[in-house]
Chain A
Amino acid sequence: MKTRIILYIIFLLLAFSKSSFSNDQKLENKINKNLRCLICQGQSIYDSQSDFAESMKLVVKQKIESGMSEEEIYSFFKIQYGEWILYDPQFNTKNFALWLLPILVFLVGGIVILKKFRVSKKRL
């Protein structure tokens, strides 16, 4: 068990030492994938080929070039078109249940399983 923990730590350190830079194109794609198209409403603007999506991509590109951060770009679009446009729901008062419920399910499942093991141990 100890060896395993040590391994994990070494491994984490190794992984963290790696610098994480990303160039503009990658950031642009990431942002495009996170913005939902208003014309083809099931797709991100990255996947959509509608006029709206094409223009959106240009705007995203321009905003990156003008030095806006990813978060600033999201909040710009959020103001323009509402929170709906973001595929990545923010963690706020109305969405906390969305983020926490699955974790809760996981924890409850864990407790139920643990209880089962306890019960069977008692019988031993």
Chain B
Amino acid sequence: MKNRYYKYSIVIFLIFTFFIFYYGLKEKNIYTPDDIKTKKFPNLILNDFYTNSETSFDDILIGSNYYLVNIWASWCLPCREEHPYLVQLKKNSSIKIIGINYKDKRDNALKFLDEYENPYLIILTDNNGMASIEIGAYGVPESFILNKEKKIIKKIIGPIDKKKFNEIKELIKK
């Protein structure tokens, strides 16, 4: 009798394992920290892209309902794709766009802005990528949308496309 129970339990355990693997196959195997949001945007002090003066985020994140912090670089191809959306978003008065120039050469970055128009209210530089990690980003491009209280309410990993653009517009309408 005891023998039979242990046989049953082995079979049940194996079936259970099978289903775990079966459903495990459907999960994507690349990890992205999508749902991880730091509660409050860290108050970093970075150098201004143009004037090179030290600027703190507390001084920038003032006077708007929403902010979009966008990490970009001239060498990053997807940044070119998302750029028109940022330019378009600039027209919206309820959001301020702040750029963080990531591991870039100044000349190339200037050329990039010349060529594709500058959507940013202010640009800060992140030469060694440390600021991006303090924010919680892991690549370029990446965008964070903050509300009035400097809380991150949305995180976009990768370029902003049409769908995500509409989501942003939806979000800042409220």
Contact = CB atoms under 8 A, between A and B. Distances in A.
Interface of A: 38-39, 41, 51-52, 54-56, 58-59, 62, 79-82, 84
A39 B139 contact: yes
B58 interface: no
B161 interface: no
Given A52-B139, A80-B36, A81-B36, A38 B31 contact: yes
Contacts of B130: 55, 58-59, 62
Contact of A52 (B31, B36, B129): B129
Contacts of A80: 33, 36, 38, 133, 136
Looking at chain B's contact residues, is the secondary structure mostly helix, strand, loop, or mixed?
A: loop
A59 to B, nearest CB: 5
Interface in B138-161: 138-139
A53 to B, nearest CB: 10
21 contacts: A38-B31, A38-B32, A38-B138, A38-B139, A39-B139, A51-B139, A52-B139, A54-B128, A54-B129, A55-B132, A56-B133, A59-B133, A59-B134, A62-B130, A80-B33, A80-B38, A80-B136, A81-B138, A82-B33, A82-B36, A84-B31
B33 A38 contact: yes
Contacts of B38: 79-80
A81 B136 contact: yes
Contacts of B136: 80-81
B103 interface: yes
Closest CB pairs A-B (n = 8): A55-B129, A80-B136, A38-B138, A81-B33, A82-B36, A59-B133, A59-B130, A82-B33
A41 B31 CA distance: 8
Interface residues of B, number: 17
A50 to B, nearest CB: 9
Interface of B: 30-33, 35-36, 38, 103, 128-130, 132-134, 136, 138-139
Given A58-B129, A80-B36, 7 more contacts: A38-B138, A39-B138, A51-B139, A58-B128, A79-B38, A81-B138, A82-B35
Nearest to A60: B133
Contacts of B33: 38, 80-82, 84
Q: Interface of chain A, helix or strand or loop or mixed?
A: helix
Nearest to B29: A41
A52 B33 CA distance: 14
